[in-house]
Amino acid sequence: MSGGLDSSVTAWKLAREGRPVVGLSMLLWDHSGTEAHGRCCGALDLGDARRVAQQAGIPHYTLRMDREFRDKVVDPFVDDYLAGRTPSPCVRCNTWIKFDLLLERARRLGATRVATGHYARILQGPDGPELHTAVDTGKDQSYYLFELTGEQLAASLFPLGELTKAQVREIAREAGLVVAEKGESMEVCFVSGGVREFVEAEAAARLPGAVSPEPAVLVDARGEELGTGQPYYRYTVGQRRGLGLAAPSPLYVLQIEPERNRVVVGEESELMAPGLRGERLHWIGPQRTGEVEATVKIRSRHPGVPALIRPQGDGRVEVDFAEPQRGITPGQAAVFYQGTRVLGGCWIAGRSDGSDRSVR
């Protein structure tokens, strides 16, 4: 129970169905100096979770998991930016915290399943539980759950998967829940200011001297120097604003080269790629070694593109798109769908067109 609308309605629904329910909240990050809602680990939101548990008539406990959260989510988040990648901390939180460590803690309390407010569905298939998209496609969160295993799905419940957000809010209103009019939570719950400022502060505290504030050299795809800008870790692939370069047509970030403190920029057409290279390939259910046709989403709100998935062994994979796609971003997830079913996914390492745009 994060103290948000969705997890609150989840707890309320299960309690009203007569199931034995215990509300668990996680203290993941110290937001004691930030008095604001929308932080899934902030004091105000944990207070809301306790009040909803009282309304639902269920016991509520707060589990301190800040050390594990730092190890599994926050430090890798910072490391990714310093390595020139754009991380997806919500996927890591689901993989390592909510459906691993939290599930383990819940079992210690005698629970057999963990229910969350995710908008996704678990359906029984011939090879076991399958992950599917939510009925409310505008709120679907299956992308962030692609690393779950069949065993984790079997121990999970997503009671909101068949509902729309409007229906969920109406349930909260009818029940009189204190969070009925609460807005959406923040995208990165542990960052209260700017992401880049957070990365700099964390890196300075954990890795003193390892991060250079030197401006990055901005070059084109041929290696010609165009100017200097901010430190390289302040850029992301596809970025247009803030480059500070005068050019006849808009320029975008094509690639980040931390080891050379360089950022490669180019025109929008140069962002297009016919495929991607992936690593840490994961399948939900039976492992697949042959080629697979699927729809691939390269960002959470990407509409998806038909593609051919070609496993290469050792967790590596090549993905060939039916049509070139814009902004293949290292550090983001590529998730594979067949219809509403999530087959699995991988982490994007780079483009797979034989031109990763490394500049000589």
Cβ atoms within 10 Å of 318's Cβ, excluding its own: 17
First to last CA, the chain: 51
In which band, very low, low, confident or very high, does the pLDDT at 186 lie, cut at 50, 70 and 90?
low
pLDDT digits (tens, 9 = 90+) for 127-164: 999 999 999 999 999 999 999 999 999 999 999 999 99
- Helices and strands per DSSP (H, E), number in the chain: 9, 16
Of 41, 90, 93, 346, the active-site residue reads: 93
In which band, very low, low, confident or very high, does the pLDDT at 35 lie, cut at 50, 70 and 90?
low
Q: Which residue, 282, 330, 328, 288, is CA-closest to 305?
A: 328
Rounded-to-integer distance, Cα 232 and Cα 218, Å: 9
How far lies 226's CA from each of 63, 116, 254, in Å? 51, 49, 14
What element of type H or E holds 46? Answer: helix 43-56
Task: Specify whether the CB–CB gap between 160 and 118 falls below 8 A.
Answer: yes
- Strands of 252-257's sheet in order across: 225-228, 217-219, 262-266, 252-257
Note if 41 is an active site residue.
no
| Residue bearing tokens 């401006």 | 215
What three-state secondary structure class fits 98?
helix
How far lies 133's CA from each of 34, 162, 296, in Å? 34, 10, 13
- Beta-carbon contacts of 115 under 8 Å, excluding residues fewer than 6 positions away, are 10, 11, 14, 21, 156, 157, 158, 159
Of 41, 90, 189, 346, the active-site residue reads: 189
- In this predicted structure, the answer to whether residue 355 has a pLDDT above a threshold of 80 is no
What three-state secondary structure class fits 108?
helix
Give the burial string for 325-334 (b: 16+ CB within 10 Å, else e).
Answer: bbbbbbbbbb
What is the set of domains in the chain, with CATH numbers? 5-175 (3.40.50.620), 212-266 (2.30.30.280), 272-351 (2.40.30.10)
Task: Specify whether the CB–CB gap between 281 and 344 falls below 8 A.
Answer: yes
| Residue bearing tokens 């080269």 | 257
| Residue bearing tokens 């939180």 | 93
Q: Which pTM does this prediction carry?
A: 0.93
Task: Specify whether the CB–CB gap between 102 and 24 falls below 8 A.
Answer: yes
Q: Do you know the residue count of the chain? A: 360
In which band, very low, low, confident or very high, does the pLDDT at 113 lie, cut at 50, 70 and 90?
very high
- In this predicted structure, the answer to whether residue 36 has a pLDDT above a threshold of 70 is no
- In this predicted structure, the answer to whether residue 248 has a pLDDT above a threshold of 80 is yes
Q: Which residue, 50, 131, 194, is CA-closest to 336?
A: 131
Angle at 85 between CA 82 and CA 90, to 5 degrees: 105
Cβ atoms within 10 Å of 112's Cβ, excluding its own: 9
pLDDT digits (tens, 9 = 90+) for 49-68: 999 999 999 999 999 999 99
Rounded-to-integer distance, Cα 155 and Cα 152, Å: 5
Task: Specify whether the CB–CB gap between 72 and 66 falls below 8 A.
Answer: no
